[in-house]
Structure 1
Amino acid sequence: MAVVINTNYSATVASNNLAVSNNMLQRSLNRLSSGSKIVNPSDDAGGLAVATKLSAAARRQGATASNIGNSVSFLQTQDGALKVASKVLDRMSELKTLYNDPTKSPSDLANYDSEFTELQTQLTDINGETFNSVALFGSADLTVSVTEDGGTSVTVQGRDFTNSTSGVGALTGTGATSLAAVTLSDITTAIENVATFRAQNGAEQSHLGFAAELLTVNKANLEAATSRITDVDVAEESTQLARWNILVQSGTAMLSQANQSAQSALRLIS
């Protein structure tokens, strides 16, 4: 091999190797300090694109689950109102039975009518209840999305509480001014209607509950898939860190040796 001064090939190779080792060392340090395998888009451009979409989908899953939770709270509030309505109707049926007692005096009957009128007012008040300014009762349905892409939804049926046939309207209408103006059949029908409302409410709560559970599972799986793409394996990367750290140290030492090798030419001309 020729002995030259102007070009130190060994030092050039050692310098290049040192630069590569140093870059890899910095890369490992960045990954371990950030906890992510993709510190720069160039680390895994395709993986970054997939992870971004999966992460956004997971966040939408969480938001959808929150919306479902609000809808369940709406139904629970509605059921609470229906539960009270059921108690009111039970009392009305009791009053009607007592009213039919032939031994009651006119003043007794008037007292029963007075309580009946107050209970009618209570049923009207229940019909006006709201949840976050949204009416609990009415004919309009609520559509609740149960998937993050909005492709699947659950319909919360509108419950017309004061409907004369499917609600309690027969007891709150203008014709039902006293216990004498209503029949026991009117009251028992209203009780059955409220029971049906509660059964439908419970079915919708069950449906939404399972939908929320599915969203929770899907969100966890999406987060796990994103983790496999972006999260650094600390055990593996720490091993690489040790490797590149040693190579940087050895490369630095070898570059120092290579820089000194050209000094042998000086001995030939000294």
Structure 2
Amino acid sequence: MGLSISREAVNNHIEMTTRDGFGNVKSVKTESDLATGLLNGIDVKFTSQAAQIAGTSGLEAGLKISPNENLTIGIGTDAVIVTINNGFWTMEGLARSINYQIATAIETGATDLLGLNASVVEGEIRLTYEKPATAADTLSTNIVITNANATTLGFVNGSYSGFVNGVKDQDYTEWGFSQFVDTVVNTVLPAGTGILISVSDGVSFMTISLMVTMGVLDVTDPDMRSFKLFQASVNDTLGSVAVRIDQHGGAMAFTSLHVGKYHDSTNAYTSLVSINMADADQAVFMQSVFGVKEGTAKGFGDANFRLHIVDNSPQFHIGADQGQSMNISMSNMSAEALGVDNIDMTTVKGASAALGRINKAIDLVSAERSKMGAFQNRLEFAINNLRNTHSNLTASESRIRDADIALEMIEFTRNQIISQSGTAMLAQANMVPQGVLQLLQ
């Protein structure tokens, strides 16, 4: 029987498939290193791992603005009309754009806006006003929002003292990465620089475009690249390269489509991923922003196996005739086999994953109990049936025994009659010579 394993990086699922010599195929998916239900009564444990180069950061939750959103922010007698262009934005990008438009308004004479600032606090845009020392004592410290058409950002019309928080629409949350580069800090990657990544699986390679950097002159333009769209484009572009890109939390990962060593009809290959940047400056940028290092990673273990299965499950003869038997097997129900021997309840993520494992373990135990109940019912039925068969056989044996005794009595009587007839005939024959002797005397 052939066994193959292919790893899906999304949600860390492993798909295992068996194919027997007759072409029958069965597949199961698991989140652990144990596959249950692939073979009847047999759990398959494996250690194969796909090659992977994963980052540690760089992805964040932003917003998809569509269409343009506007709001008027006023302090005292001055106000600024803020426009957020449609597209994908990081929260920091939104704050940058609002602050740029406030600064532009101040430069054109709206001095009451001095002290007004946008920032990101706990994932939301916060507008804060701190009255400068040079402002008139009569200047109000209230932030006045009017003409608000910013439902995605979550700002509504009203007057707010000191600060106001937006409450973003969660339906428009989008994961992605910022294309903005602060050229004051990073002088080697000016705006308009294309960040290129060469991806190889050890056999072929492909160069993909990560982003084109944006600078301070682009602050009113959407600054985020949607990871979903980027992922779809990259995975389509990679084509014949057996590597895919996926999201793991707040980071991206390049994962081989093969696990460990995989085999075709003639050769064996090693799961491999290799990442190279266009130059040293881009390599530093990629590592500092995304935590992705240049290099090569290899998988381990095998993706194809040969299994020789021996059925050693107990077999019970449950009938009076030949072939009336059944096999009884029970899967391993230990904590290790159920995947609950090593769960982490110390973090929210670990507890969430543990709940999934526990639910799956409960389902497995319930299914096994149901199977045991079916075995018990079948055996009880067989016991009752054998009891009836035993009673019938005993009655039949008794009737046969009674019939044999009668036959033997008939045979005994017949033999007695024959014996007595023979004796009488012998006595009669002996009387003739005795009579002759008497006459001679």
- TM-score normalised per structure 2: 0.23
Larger RCO: 1 or 2 (CA < 8 Å, sep 6+): 1
Task: Report which of the two has the higher share of helix.
Answer: 1
Larger radius of gyration between Structure 1 and Structure 2: 2
